[in-house]
């Protein structure tokens, strides 16, 4: 009946419907929300992952032609990037994928992590809140000859971009620009696990019918039917 996508629950939400379910991008979002939302306001049930999308390094054709390995460690991919290639990410304060990518970069390259972070900050002085608006902006500013920055995003975002499904880009994005993105897969990068979290709000005693509906929805999401429908959302996809 009430489902909240992406954003964490608002502890001050007293007007309007309070969601029964939160479908977050990452369990890291849930852990953070549990640490800041008072327990007497809302209780979080244990998260159940219902999908996944690996975090990738996405580059344009001019850069991809110079990278020999589609799958390698972060340190190897960074070393192989052509000189001058900018790393661009969304705001890690508002984007789970950007936060997890940043953590993975630090873990992969201790000595050069501060240099990478400095480059990321300089390349995105006003970072987008999430991957989709960042790529929407990118699609209107692709340089000629397929060269361009390297984006820290989820694989699902790359597929959306290549199929023209990024809002404000127009369709079909890669055909118009002739600059589809190629995903490279760091072996030491995490993935977005899209947890299903049931929420119980203060002074609320959900009726049995609603509890059954929540349980049925969770069962469907993790069943064969739910997995088939998720293919249209680019989740659980293969390398592109």
Whether this model's pTM surpasses 0.85: no
What are the Cα distances from residue 122, in Å, to 21, 76, 82?
Answer: 37, 22, 18
Confidence label for 237 from pLDDT (cuts 50, 70 and 90): very low
Average pLDDT of the chain is 78
pLDDT at residue 173 greater than cutoff 50: no
Listed residue (200, 238, 184, 222) closest to 66, CA to CA: 184
pLDDT tens per residue across span 15-62? 556 788 998 999 999 998 888 888 888 889 999 998 889 999 999 888
Provide φ and ψ at 71, rounded to 5°. -130, 120
- The Cα–Cα gap between 230 and 50 comes to 9
Q: What is the pLDDT of residue 175?
A: 45
Confidence label for 197 from pLDDT (cuts 50, 70 and 90): very high
Name the residue with higher pLDDT: 116 or 100. 100
High-pLDDT (> 90) share of the chain, %: 16
């Amino acid at each position: 009946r009430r489902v909240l996508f992406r954003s964490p629950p608002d502890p001050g939400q007293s007007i309007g419907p309070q969601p029964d379910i939160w479908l977050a991008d990452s369990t890291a979002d849930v852990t953070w929300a549990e640490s800041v939302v008072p327990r007497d306001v809302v209780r979080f049930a244990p998260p159940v992952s219902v999908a996944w999308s690996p975090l990738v390094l996405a580059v344009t054709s001019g850069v991809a032609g110079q990278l020999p390995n589609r799958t390698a460690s972060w340190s190897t991919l960074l070393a192989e990037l052509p000189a001058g290639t900018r790393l661009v990410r969304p705001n890690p304060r508002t984007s789970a994928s950007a936060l997890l990518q940043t953590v993975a970069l630090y873990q992969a390259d201790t000595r050069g992590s501060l240099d990478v972070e400095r480059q990321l900050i300089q390349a995105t002085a006003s970072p987008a809140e999430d991957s989709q608006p960042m790529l929407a902006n990118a699609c209107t500013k692709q340089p000629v000859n397929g060269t361009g920055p390297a984006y820290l995003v989820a694989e699902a975002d790359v597929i959306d971009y290549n199929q023209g499904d990024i809002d404000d880009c127009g369709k079909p994005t890669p055909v118009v620009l002739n600059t589809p993105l190629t995903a490279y897969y760091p072996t030491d990068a995490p993935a977005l696990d899209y947890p299903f979290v049931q929420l119980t709000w203060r002074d609320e005693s959900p009726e049995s019918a609603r509890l059954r509906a929540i349980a049925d929805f969770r069962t469907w999401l993790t069943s064969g039917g739910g997995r088939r429908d998720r293919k249209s959302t680019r989740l659980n996809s293969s390398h592109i």
